[in-house]
Amino acid sequence: MNSLLPTIRDDFESRDPDFIRQFLPILWLLASFWYRAEVRGLEKIPAEGPVLLVGNHSGGNMTPDTAAFVLAFSAYFGAERPFYQLAHSLVLTMPGLWWLRAFGTVVASPENADKALRKGAALLVYPGGDYEVHRPTWESAKVDFDGRKGFLRVAHRDHVPLVPVVSIGGQETALFLSRGQRLAKGLRLDRLFRLKVLPISLALPWGLNIGDMLGHIPLPAKITIQVLDPIDLRARFGAKPDWSAAYRSIIGQMQRTLTQLQSERRLPIVG
Amino acid sequence: MRVAVHTEIAAPRQRVWDYIVDPDRHLEFMEGMTRWEVDGRKRTGVGARFAMRMRVGSVELGGLIEIVEFDPPCDMAWTSVTGVDHRGRWRLRPRNGDCADVELRVTYHAPGGILGSIADLVAWPIVRGHLQRSLAELKHRIETLPAVRSEAAAGKRRHHTQGVAKARRR
């Protein structure tokens, strides 16, 4: 069966720095006072040139970690620095989310990743995608990319620094109960919409929230984001890496940071 | 939005001036400042540029600024080139013989219409707090630290910076 998702053109030219500047104050209010976001280590990101930013993903379809990081990156380096984000194609077909394109969000694919990096841009990817973002709340402090290693191949092929970005707090913005993988499979969502999950959560204002397609009102959980040192994959793992070993190494590093961030939190939501 | 803070420092105006125009010292006394780096060859005077960031709320705001007025030891003004749209001014005036009146002004404007204006308003006490504490720290450093010692420290710091620059070039 063919996917029901419409074909989306590669839309690198929709990014609009003026629009981003206009939008930043809204994100700043949201990040500073709703999420009390704290983004550490931005100075570790190379000041210019292509870079692959690899994050763990949290918060269901509202993705507060993305909002906080995009704000922090754009404020720190300026909206004029080319910066793209990869997202599930379903996200970009939602009628109310047209503005994501103006922020530089493009459909997640290896081709688009290569294209962005070869343009000299910074690129934010969440390899865990929909699988990780809907993990249960009690797995908040777990990095789970579901074994997806494509980001390593992209950084290695394009010879760009890989910068891990670790965040915590997003999974406390609702009570995420289950990814609903069996439900998604039973409804054949994987084939129809490339969706492996149909998440089940308790969230405002719906109460029981199945699918999270309309989003939800996120609880004001404190978001903390830590940027790690850049990694040169070729220098560390050689010209022909053992991808599994490289994956374990990067994930391990991110997991240690996430565990550290978790240990700093005294109370759920409050942080 | 406009923020202006003021203090009186018990030291000659020239000494205060020498302190604030030294780019190596900004991170020492500017509260909330996370970055202050010379951009280009010119370290001071009209046309000198600096990459600066100040933590305001959840993010580090700033960008590239350029000195547009430089009148020793009275006035130094800058304007933003990239990043958050703002202007600033150090204004030093003599007072009671060996004292200096020091005023630091910053005017900023966030885009985004009404929400931008709300953000401006909400940011005002944060920016004002940073600037007030910066002046208090400047006053403390100049009044309590001996001039000779601070100059020696500045020399040592310059030497260190040059060392780092050399190491980076290597």
Contacts of B123 in chain A (CB under 8 A): 28
Residue whose token pair is 């930013």 = A53
Q: Which pLDDT score is estimated for B169?
A: 41
Contacts of B52 in chain A (CB under 8 A): none
In chain A, which residue's Cα lies nearest the Cα of B54?
A76
Contact A78 B57 (CB under 8 A): no
Contact B115 A36 (CB under 8 A): no
Phi and psi torsions of B137, nearest 5°:
-70, -40
Q: Which pLDDT score is estimated for B147?
A: 63
Q: Does B75 touch chain A (CB under 8 A)?
A: no
Give me the mean pLDDT over the A38-50 stretch: 96
Q: Which pLDDT score is estimated for B148?
A: 47
Residue whose token pair is 């047209």 = A98
In chain A, which residue's Cα lies nearest the Cα of B119?
A25
Produce one character per residue of A223-260: b if its CB has 16 or more CB atoms within 10 Å, e if not: bbbbbbebbebeeebeeebeeeebbebbbebbbebbee
In chain A, which residue's Cα lies nearest the Cα of B123?
A29
- Residue B126: exposed, middle, or buried by beta-carbon count in 10 A (0-12, 13-18, 19+)? middle
Q: Which pLDDT score is estimated for A3?
A: 60
Q: What CA–CA distance (Å, rounded) separates B26 from B38?
A: 11
Task: Look at residue B162 and give its three-state secondary structure.
Answer: helix
The token pair at A32 is: 């500073």
Per-residue pLDDT for A216 more than 70?
yes
Residue B71 bridge partners (DSSP): B75
Q: Which pLDDT score is estimated for A2?
A: 54
Q: How far is B128 from chain A (nearest CA, A)?
A: 17
What is the ipTM metric for this complex? 0.82
Contact A29 B113 (CB under 8 A): no
The angle, 0 to 180 degrees and rounded to 10, between the axes of the packed helices B113-144 and B13-20 is: 120
Q: Does B55 touch chain A (CB under 8 A)?
A: no
User: Dmax of chain A from CA atoms?
Assistant: 51
Q: Which pLDDT score is estimated for A9?
A: 60
Contacts of A78 in chain B (CB under 8 A): 63-64, 82-83
The token pair at B122 is: 């909400």
Confidence of residue A105 (pLDDT cuts 50, 70, 90): very high
Q: Which pLDDT score is estimated for B125?
A: 97
Cα separation values, A9 from A93, A111, A119, A127, A192, Å? 11, 12, 17, 21, 19
The model's pLDDT over A111-130, given as tens digits with 9 standing for 90+, comes to 999 999 999 999 999 999 99
Contacts of A76 in chain B (CB under 8 A): 53, 59-60, 62
Residue B75 bridge partners (DSSP): B71, B91
Taking residue A78's Cβ as centre, other Cβ atoms within 10 Å add up to 19
Contact B59 A80 (CB under 8 A): no
Q: Which pLDDT score is estimated for B159?
A: 45
**Mutate: best of B53, B58, B82, partner A, most A CBs <10 A:** B58
With contact defined as beta carbons under 8 Å apart, do A221 and A173 qualify? yes
Q: What CA–CA distance (Å, rounded) separates A81 from A73?
A: 9
Confidence of residue A192 (pLDDT cuts 50, 70, 90): confident
Contacts of A103 in chain B (CB under 8 A): none
Produce one character per residue of A121-139: b if its CB has 16 or more CB atoms within 10 Å, e if not: bbbbbbbbbbbbbbbbbee
Closest CA to A79 of A161, A30, A15, A163: A15
Q: What is the dihedral of CA B120, B125, B127, B129, to 10 degrees?
A: 180
Cα separation values, B62 from A16, A169, B28, Å? 20, 26, 18
Q: How far is B25 from chain A (nearest CA, A)?
A: 19
**Mutate: best of B59, B84, B126, partner A, most A CBs <10 A:** B59
Q: What CA–CA distance (Å, rounded) separates A254 from A133?
A: 16
Q: How far is A10 from chain B (nearest CA, A)?
A: 28
In chain A, which residue's Cα lies nearest the Cα of B52?
A76
Q: Which pLDDT score is estimated for A194?
A: 81
Confidence of residue A17 (pLDDT cuts 50, 70, 90): very high
pLDDT of chain B, 170 residues: tens digit per residue: 999 999 999 999 999 999 999 999 999 999 999 999 999 999 999 999 999 999 999 999 989 999 999 999 999 999 999 998 999 999 999 988 789 999 999 999 999 899 999 999 999 999 999 999 999 999 999 999 776 444 544 554 444 444 444 444 43
Q: What CA–CA distance (Å, rounded) separates B15 from B141?
A: 11
Per-residue pLDDT for A147 more than 60?
yes
Helix %, strand %, coil % for chain B, to 5? 40, 40, 20
Per-residue pLDDT for A90 more than 90?
no
Q: Which pLDDT score is estimated for B152?
A: 47
Q: Which pLDDT score is estimated for B166?
A: 41
Contact B58 A22 (CB under 8 A): no
Q: Does B119 touch chain A (CB under 8 A)?
A: yes
Q: Which of B34, B82, B116 sits opposite A78 (nearest CB)?
A: B82
Contact B58 A38 (CB under 8 A): yes
Per-residue pLDDT for A107 more than 60?
yes
Q: Which pLDDT score is estimated for A251?
A: 98
Per-residue pLDDT for A240 more than 90?
yes
Q: Which pLDDT score is estimated for B156?
A: 46
Phi and psi torsions of B36, nearest 5°:
-150, 95
Give me the mean pLDDT over the A65-75 stretch: 95
In chain B, which residue's Cα lies nearest the Cα of A72?
B59
Contact B112 A24 (CB under 8 A): yes
Q: Does A125 touch chain B (CB under 8 A)?
A: no
DSSP 8-class letter at B163 = H
Q: For the whole model, what pTM was predicted?
A: 0.88
Contact A23 B112 (CB under 8 A): yes
Q: How far is A189 from chain B (nearest CA, A)?
A: 38
Q: Does B63 touch chain A (CB under 8 A)?
A: yes
DSSP 8-class letter at A229 = P
Cα separation values, A222 from A112, A255, A265, Å? 32, 19, 9
